[in-house]
Amino acid sequence: MFMKNPDAVIGPGDTIVLPEFTVPWAFMHEAELALVMKGPAKRVQAKDWKRAVFGYTCLIDVSAREQGRRTWPATPLTSWLGKSFDTFAPLGPCIATADEIEDPNNLIVRFWNDGQLRHNYNTDDMEHRVPELVEFATTVMTMNSGDVIACGTNHEGLGFLQDGETVEIEIEKIGRMALKVSDPLKRKWERGIYMGVDSTHPEAVKRYRPQGGPTATGAI
């Protein structure tokens, strides 16, 4: 579980600003379902998760990465820093209330970068289901009304963000929003979906695993 800086939150039409920071290898997008909590909620069991959720929204979890998919800096106590730069948590475009979504673990999530579809998955493919996330988070801390839990992705559509791009996220039954990307340093990375040796994208798995080990990195 990672924590996000409150100043990471921005909204529709805003700009994701990549930090003038040269240590991270790259900055990647993750399109995620987010839970808007109803609190105070503490030690909520998985079977009671609905009483702690007010609604749902879209979140782009922007992450600073080291080589491959490792979040910078890759240590258990500090890796949250790579997700906490200002503007690294776009939220929106609205909150769909809990009564509007029957099953949050059955929603289509899509993400586009300059019109190229990158993320396209169902939330039933997330590593952790919503009841499990609510139980875990409220075991660690008290969740208050308006707190947000980002549910994670299936990690199959990760890609780099760079200056001048327009990104869009859409989640079924919630809505769609667009944002700009700005990089004061004008850095460049290979465009497309990350297809490195540690990617879980099916094409990357097909490319590397049958040969007995990863040997290269790339993008599609």
Q: Hey, which bits of 98-174 come out as E strands?
A: 108-113, 116-122, 148-150, 159-160, 166-171
Q: pTM for this one?
A: 0.86
* Residue 214 scores a pLDDT above 60: no
pLDDT of residue 72: 64
| Chain centroid, CA 46 distance in Å | 22
Spatial separation of the C-alpha atoms in residues 96 and 53, rounded to whole Å: 11
pLDDT of residue 195: 67
Helices marked H in the chain — which ranges?
Answer: 130-140, 202-208
Which is more confident, 109 or 216? 109
Mean pLDDT (the chain, rounded): 88
Contact present, 37 and 143 (Cβ < 8 Å):
yes
| Chain centroid, CA 34 distance in Å | 9
Mean predicted confidence (pLDDT) in 42-62 = 97
Mean predicted confidence (pLDDT) in 174-191 = 95
Tell me the three state secondary structure of residue 175: strand
Among the ranges given (54-68, 123-137, 141-155), the one the predictor scored with the smallest mean pLDDT? 54-68
pLDDT of residue 206: 75
Domain ranges in the chain are 6-189
Mean predicted confidence (pLDDT) in 116-143 = 95
Output phi, psi for 116, to 5 deg.
Answer: -90, 120
Spatial separation of the C-alpha atoms in residues 111 and 92, rounded to whole Å: 13
Tokens of 165: 């791009």
Spatial separation of the C-alpha atoms in residues 220 and 217, rounded to whole Å: 11
- Name the CA dihedral angle for 108, 111, 112, 118, rounded to a multiple of 10 degrees: -90
* CATH fold for domain 6-189: Fumarylacetoacetate hydrolase; domain 2 (3.90.850)
- pLDDT tier at 213 (50, 70, 90 boundaries)? very low
- pLDDT tier at 210 (50, 70, 90 boundaries)? low
Q: Which is nearest to 25 in space by CA: 176, 188, 180?
A: 188
Spatial separation of the C-alpha atoms in residues 79 and 47, rounded to whole Å: 31
pLDDT of residue 186: 95
pLDDT of residue 108: 97
Tell me the three state secondary structure of residue 181: strand
Q: Hey, which bits of the chain come out as E strands?
A: 9-10, 15-17, 26-29, 31-37, 53-60, 63-65, 89-97, 108-113, 116-122, 148-150, 159-160, 166-171, 175-182
pLDDT of residue 2: 78
* Residue 30 scores a pLDDT above 90: yes
Among the ranges given (90-99, 151-160, 173-182), the one the predictor scored with the smallest mean pLDDT? 151-160
Which is more confident, 188 or 177? 177
Spatial separation of the C-alpha atoms in residues 129 and 136, rounded to whole Å: 11
